[in-house]
Structure 1
Amino acid sequence: MILCVLFSNRAGNVLLERFHGLPAEERLHWRSFLVKLVGENLKTARDDEVFVASHKSVFIVYTVTGDICVFAVGKDLYDELALMEVLNTVTSSVKDVCKKAPSERLFLEKYGKICLCLDEIVSQGSLEHTDKDRIRRLNRLKPLAES
C-alpha cells in the first residue's frame, strides 16, 4: 500500500499531502519524519536526484524537483522499485502541469490541477495510472476515447 505522497518546499514546509491507511495520530509522526529528511538531505540535492530510506519496515523514496521536495512512502508490495514508479509519475505530472520544474509559487498557483493529477495517480493507496497523457485527459474530464 502507498501510505503517503507528500510535497514540501526545501525549508520543510508541507505544501500538499495525501495519506492512505494511516490513523490520524500516526500522520503527525510521518509528517515530522519526512520533514526531518528534508533538513538532512535535500537542501543541497540536485534536481531529480533520488534518495531511498526505510523506517519501521516502510520504504521511502524522495527527490527534489525545482523548489519542491516529493516523498512517496509505501509498504508491502510498494517497495523501493514500485515507489520509484510512483515518484516518477508524480514528478513528471507536476512538471507537465507547471510546464517546467516548479517553484513554490508556481506549485501553489497550480495546486488544484496538481491535486487532480495526484488523485488520478494514487487512489486509495494503490497506483492507478502512470501514463502522463491519460492523466492529462482525465484531468480535463474528457472521455478517454477522444484525442
Structure 2
Amino acid sequence: MLLAMLISNSEGNILVERFNGVPVEERLHWRTFLVKLGGENLKDAKNEELFVASHKSVYVVYTMLGDIHIYLVGKDEYDELALSEVIFIITTTLKDVCGKPPNERLFLDKYGKICLSLDEIVWTGVMENTDKERIKRLVRLKPPTEF
C-alpha cells in the first residue's frame, strides 16, 4: 500500500499531502521526518534524481522537480522499485500539466488540475493509472475510449 504522498516546496512547506492507512497521530511525525530528510539530501540534487530511504519497515522514495519536492512512502508490494515507477509517473504528469518543471507559483496556479491528476494516478493507496494520455483524458472528465 502507498502510505503517503507528500509534495512540498523547497522551504519545507507542504503543498499537497495524501495519507492512506496512517493514523492521525502519526501524520505529524511523517511530515516532519520527510521534510527534514528532503531538506538535508535534496539541496544539491538534480531534477528527477531519485533518493531512497527506509524507515520503520517502510520504503521512502523522494525527488526534486523544479522547486518542488515529492515524497512517497510505501510498504509491502510498494517497495523501492514500485515507488520509483509511481514517482516517475507523478513527475511526468506534473511536467505535462505545468508545461515545465514547476516552481511553487506555477504549481499553485495549476493546483486543481494537479490534484485531479494525482487522484487518477493513486487512489486510496493503490496505483491506478500509468498512461499519461489516459490520465489527461480522465482529468478532462471525459470517459476513456477503450476498456
Aligned CA-pair RMSD: 0.9
Show the counterpart of 2:87: 87
Show the counterpart of 1:34: 34
CA contact (8 A) 1:11 1:38 kept: no
CA contact (8 A) 2:8 2:68 kept: yes
In structure 2, C-alpha distance between the alignment counterparts of 1:25 and 1:102, rounded to whole Å: 31
Q: How many residues are treated as equivalent by the alignment? A: 146
Structure 2, unaligned runs of 5 or more: none
CA contact (8 A) 2:62 2:71 kept: yes
In structure 1, C-alpha distance between the alignment counterparts of 2:37 and 2:44, rounded to whole Å: 12
Show the counterpart of 1:122: 122
In structure 2, C-alpha distance between the alignment counterparts of 1:52 and 1:30, rounded to whole Å: 15
Show the counterpart of 1:67: 67
Show the counterpart of 2:144: 144
Q: CA deviation at 1:44?
A: 1.5
User: After superposition, what is the alpha-carbon deviation per residue over 1:70-129, rounded to whole angstroms, capped at 9, x for unaligned?
Assistant: 011100010000001110011111111001100110001101100000101111110000
Question: Identity rate of aligned residues, in percent?
Answer: 66
CA contact (8 A) 2:38 2:62 kept: no
In structure 1, C-alpha distance between the alignment counterparts of 2:101 and 2:39, rounded to whole Å: 21
Q: CA deviation at 1:143?
A: 1.7
Following TM superposition, the consecutive aligned residue runs of length 4 or more in structure 1 with deviations greater than 6 angstroms are none
User: After superposition, what is the alpha-carbon deviation per residue over 1:28-65, rounded to whole angstroms, capped at 9, x for unaligned?
Assistant: 11000001012210122111111000000000000001
- Counterpart of 2:108, as a letter, is L
Q: Give me the TM-score of the superposition, normalised by structure 1.
A: 0.97
Structure 1, unaligned runs of 5 or more: none
Show the counterpart of 2:49: 49
Q: Give me the TM-score of the superposition, normalised by structure 2.
A: 0.97
